[in-house]
Amino acid sequence: MIVNDSVEAIVSGQRRFYETGATKDVSFRVRALYKLRDALLAKEKEIIDALRKDLNKSEQEAFSTEIGIVYKELAYVIKHIRRWARPKRVKTAITHIGSRGEIHPEPYGTVLVIAPWNYPWQLAMSPLIGALAAGNTVIIKPSELTPAVSRVISELVKETFEQELAAVIEGGPEISTRLMEQPLDYIFFTGSVRVGKIVMQAAAKRLIPVTLELGGKSPCIVHDDASLRLAAKRIVFGKFTNAGQTCIAPDYLFVQRNVKDKLVSYMVEAIAEFYGPHPLSNPDYGRIVSEKHFNRLSAFLGNGNLRHGGQNDPGKLLIEPTLLDQVTWDMPVMEEEIFGPVLPILTYDRLEEVVSAVNDKPKPLALYLFTQSTAAQDQILNNISFGGGCVNDTLMHLATPHLPFGGVGESGMGSYHGEYSFQTFSHMKSVLRQTNRFDFSFRYPGKGGLKLLRKLMKP
């Protein structure tokens, strides 16, 4: 546990180190990222064990959703960082003939990354990569709800970097509060909407810029022309990975009425294929993170009509993959983000109903649409605002460094991954290099230049 004096000392030490200018050297950043890569490889077995201990993630799930995705992100950033960090020349306006415009990426300074518990490795390491690549010093605050992973993160960072460059501060909400009272230069937060509002309010007191990766009720829409059996497998994968504790998991299913029963039957088959006939006995099925979350999710099981699943084990904090039918918007399960293995099912006849219903709620972090119709795709994508998503798949838009990942409205602000991480943790400083070889007298007061200015600057 870090005491308050140590929090202040770490922040102060990082700020002093940043002021030396060492992190502005791109070669320094590349070396740091290579050191991180070597450390990640050395700790792989430990992090797999920690994820099993905290969340009962299987080795396959741990690697695919936590470890492998970080490897790919790191390799991509190392490959491109030198190009991203170079000043970029931009076009010159006709009113600026003789000058040269440039954009210089520069680090913010000392960055705080507050990581969540649901993907505690990936969602700490990925922002760390971006922050280091951009030339910042970094403090990571892992979630206290996943103590085994938190411990490995702390050990890795301590063994790999000097505290002045990167540090981990463990603890509960009181440590986060203390950290946000410090003179930081940027805060990157992943977590709930409720806590995101607290973070933004704290940051506003010091005018600290923030990225907020939040959540919301992400819809999954299945039109009647979809490939239903394949859609069922991809929906079950997206919803029940990590026992549904995924910020971009399909939160509810909106299926066209005439194919609902067929889709549900295929989903039941997929659940059995993935988790066996008795998921609670499957040693690789994910665990709910805490008793508090288990109790909240268990209360949803009485909403609507139970179509599949519903069994649970309070002692092991397990809840079966559950499908709820005949759900209405006024039920508790539809009033907040579920964040667990419970999928409510609603029906529609026309896509206009879907557009109206989704737009009546806060903008979701993700949206998934299953259809082979280009017109249906255009109707949904052009009329509903959401952070990101997939057509004919779930979750996979998060796993590519070529797409920005982030929310909109209540689901968050800012984005990251790949070059977007570099941009998030960089201030894009504009510079105009003006010529001294000649000058334009019309720009100055009283020189009779208004007529020419009107001509040059007409709409």
Please pick, among 213, 337, 410, 419, the residue that the annotation labels catalytic: 213
Q: Is the pLDDT of residue 354 over 70?
A: yes
169 versus 450: which is more confidently predicted? 169
Give pLDDT tens digits for 131-147.
Answer: 999 999 999 999 999 99
pTM over 0.85: yes
Model confidence over 309-330: pLDDT tens digits?
Answer: 999 999 999 999 999 999 999 9
Bridge partners, residue 104, by sequence: 429
Lowest model confidence (mean pLDDT) among 20-29, 340-349, 430-439? 430-439
**What is the pLDDT of the chain when averaged over all its residues?**
96
Of these residues, 66, 220, 247, 337, which one is catalytic? 247
How does pLDDT run across 238-270, given as a tens digit for each residue?
999 999 999 999 999 999 999 999 999 999 999
Dist CA 392 CA 230 (whole Å):
9
Please report the domains of the chain, with CATH numbers, ordered by start residue: 4-214+412-431 (3.40.605.10), 219-406 (3.40.309.10)
- State the pLDDT at residue 131: 98
Give the model confidence (pLDDT) of 355-395 as tens digits.
Answer: 999 999 999 999 999 999 999 999 999 999 999 999 999 99
Concerning whether 220 is annotated as a catalytic residue, the answer is no
pLDDT at 23: 98
Has 162 been annotated as catalytic? no
SS (H, E, C) 190-230: ECCHHHHHHHHHHHHHHCCCEEEECCCCCEEEECCCCCHHH
